Structure 1
């Protein structure tokens, strides 16, 4: 509905042809209009008391306005109407705010990733905002659904949301920012190592859970890594490469947003934990076979294997106790440790994806070979008798 444009044009009709406007039929004087309907067929006013409808003879098309059968041409009317109504379809922006001003109409959906959305006009489709706030003002109307993921929804009194409201728990992206913890009486450099120790403890806890609840899955992942380590590593590398592009593609569609923010992260997290448990079991088994260390259970092999993978990172933490003198060695050990963990994690992730979370064997077992017994030589009696007779 082009309320702003029509009000300006109707008020300007007196300047164009005052005598024609005076002949237009109006609602009875002294009565208040309850409803005004404006469309391309004209203007209809419903009285609040007797509920009689009065049709005002104004018709608007792309090039002119017709008042009681008389055409009044307005230059660039079609361009002005489209500019005000914002009939440009859906709007999708990443990292930029979107504002629908009062009186504006968006004929489509609004999707913003990392940018705030402010709705003071009308949105005919859905509104989805990810990682940013959504503000629907008192004049704002959303005819579709409202989806907020990692953001907040603020509604002013009088705002209208005619569809459903779908929201996920807000997430603070500052979680990923680096933090430095200062611990006394040790040097301040020890604070760099405490997050590493927390990470090691958390990883040991997670792989232990994986070994406890899904031992067969972890075993199949370990067997896959042992049989095809390079292919598992390449598959894990490819999985990390396509994660973010797939995430962005899913966020573009309304249906794909829950998949991108719920299903995809959970699947990636579960595959990473199972994969790291599988590669830890692989390393622990190698240690068990090649040393005098006795590891009787798979759980013990997984714990020892995980500690072996993270050994360089643990040594880097001990280097922080030496203060600034050992700081270069700390950064060197930390770099090497993270490279080892990254390679192990990618190999485990690739094996987990290859085996479908360890539910099937990626490399089929070779078919058993059956030995065919040799055929005994056949005795030809007639041939022997003829040989004897000839002799």
Structure 2
């Protein structure tokens, strides 16, 4: 495989030498294209010794071979590591002011970026918007690791380890359609998609709460897949273990009641609503104004629970009553376990019938299953057909399948 390794100008550029060695030892032909700033961190002799290939000097190197176009056209994979905030900004803007950005602009192969920068740069709205733009165009942008940065700083923004970048980049190539391609890049063009994610927290007192194990990973993957399909995404996030997606409208909530309010408001202008959040079924009937203490008499506190509103069913009711557009596609998620009464599919069919959503995505859960895992399997049930579609693999693979079904539901109307 012909690989372009783009190296941005950050201190993490030294890690790219290990990444380069992994590619070459696996038999791939690698051409390194460093930015001018990257040359200040790692000398070209290192790149050439490890790759066995000449490092091109720039746009005017080998002009007779039209290098600034040829390299990108002939590559099977482009990996940029580290991808600095400046480099991603220039790539998102479509600039071509050096050989690397020229190569990115003509590339027809998968492009994979591994960001590295200070935490403030990664979390800045400009960077998040640029990441969102790149992802919406099909570029795979890996989330940075969290840890020690330059100097004494620590936090999200650290370049992932070379072996992690290598494995993730190869998965992009090995996937027949890339990580977010279960639906075409235009299947939701111009559509407004609301996605809820994470787990709600129901306060008991100022310190304690009732919660669940939802990580939010699937919701983030859904948002990225919807953006890749051209949608305008409104992401409503409860508690999550992962950062929210870049380049989307973001609303953060905590409790089920807050989630209900935000979702109903957003759904009024939505073409698709995907309820991927794990909403607590119950909340404490009363919120203690102070921390509940252990009593000297040994009596344990009794916490009375009340039901939370069924947001998914309420959305369907509002649509049926004309308070939401009749064309809005509503998709629910169900985390189920089987028991003596029925298997998971049986419970899912009952839930689809009672909720009235157009699609229901079924997760089979249990100890160490689905919650927080990067690989899972789901069943997609439809109210309009008895057929059950299965999707398995990464969260991105499953998100692509769900977004493709959402687009198909819209086409069917």
Higher helix share: 1
Higher strand share: 2
More contact order relative to length (CA 8 Å, sep ≥ 6): 2
Which bracket does the TM-score occupy, shorter chain normalised?
under 0.3
TM-score, structure 2 length as denominator? 0.23
- Higher Cα Rg, which structure: 1
TM-score, structure 1 length as denominator? 0.24
